Chains A and B, each alone.
Chain A
Amino acid sequence: MTHLGYLITGWGITLGVLGVYAWRLVRRGRHLSVRVPDAHRRWLDDQGPDGA
């Protein structure tokens, strides 16, 4: 396969950045969820928050 280094770098950076960003969101969400009562987390009932 030609250009393998470019492909691994491009795909690796993309999946790596998306993975780290997703992991940070989950971690931040866990940290904040402990501090906020369930009433503010309507997704626990599988209904999205819709304060509009």
Chain B
Amino acid sequence: MAGRDERRDTTGSRGSRLLGCAGLVGLAVLGVLAFVLTGPDVRIHPTTGEEFGQLDAVRMLYLHVPMAVLMYVSYLLCAVASVGVLVKRTPWWDVMAHSAAEVGTVLCGLVLVTGSIWGRPVWNTWWEWGDVRLMTTLVLFLMFAGYLALRRTTGDPRALSRRAAVVALVAVLDIPLVNRSVEWWENRTLHQQSTLGDLKIEDLTLFTLMLGFLVLGMVLAWLLLHRFRVGWLERAALDYSVAAAIIERRAETSDTEAYRAVGDPMPDSQVAKGDQS
């Protein structure tokens, strides 16, 4: 639009630009640490003396694990916002729930894909239908895909928000199953139990993993911020288009009534305008 400051026509702010730049720099540093400075996973068998381990495939750890944890964070945020939708019933909570669900689903899809790619060299399989963690994660992804599909349906927006909130609250019940599955069904999963709590990993590997959490956390925050603002603008733009249509309709109606009241025939331009509507 002429005369407008283009820098203002964005969902960006000074804070979000700083966050985005920090996230990009962080991703570059993470890449250097993950591919150059950290070593492969090579262990020596205590009895046979043979080398074993994940070798360089372990470098998927620095993306896959932080994304999985941040996926939980995003979905839990969606659950909290969904409670807000049901209790407070304000647009802010609704937009937040929708944004967190969408970003969480992007992360969940990436967790499934990177897990499959990581599993091929380590477990010699792309997918294992009997693995409880894989299946519960897939179910989580499908439930939130259903949530997003529900958000795209038409109908009373307020009723739709409440229904979506209920779906989100049911879907997040799967998160404890995903997270604890390696302990509750340890014989039915290829996944190992958490090594973070026992600090079984080396210093630089641990540092790189923690950096992965921090950097991908910044990326998540940036995505959530912008997705929220886009959702907020979508709602405002819809309100404006409805309000503009009502004003236009009222103006047309009042013109027609005015001409009728004075008994004059309507000009051709007004008749054509009325026909189009």
Contact = CB atoms under 8 A, between A and B. Distances in A.
Interface of A: 1-4, 6-7, 9-11, 13-15, 17-18, 21-22, 25-26, 28-30, 32-36, 38, 40-41, 43-44, 46, 48-52
Interface residues of B, number: 53
B63 interface: yes
Given A43-B16, A49-B229, A35 B237 contact: yes
Contacts of A52: 84, 88, 90, 92-93
B202 interface: no
Contacts, number: 128
A13 B229 contact: no
A7 B222 contact: no
B247 to A, nearest CB: 15
A49 B55 contact: no
A22 B114 contact: no
Contacts of B217: none
A41 B233 contact: yes
Given A18-B219, A44-B13, A52-B90, 19 more contacts: A2-B40, A2-B55, A2-B56, A3-B121, A13-B110, A21-B106, A22-B222, A25-B226, A26-B10, A28-B230, A33-B8, A33-B233, A40-B233, A43-B12, A43-B16, A43-B229, A49-B92, A50-B92, A51-B90
9 contacts: A26-B226, A28-B230, A29-B11, A30-B11, A33-B9, A34-B1, A35-B233, A49-B228, A52-B93
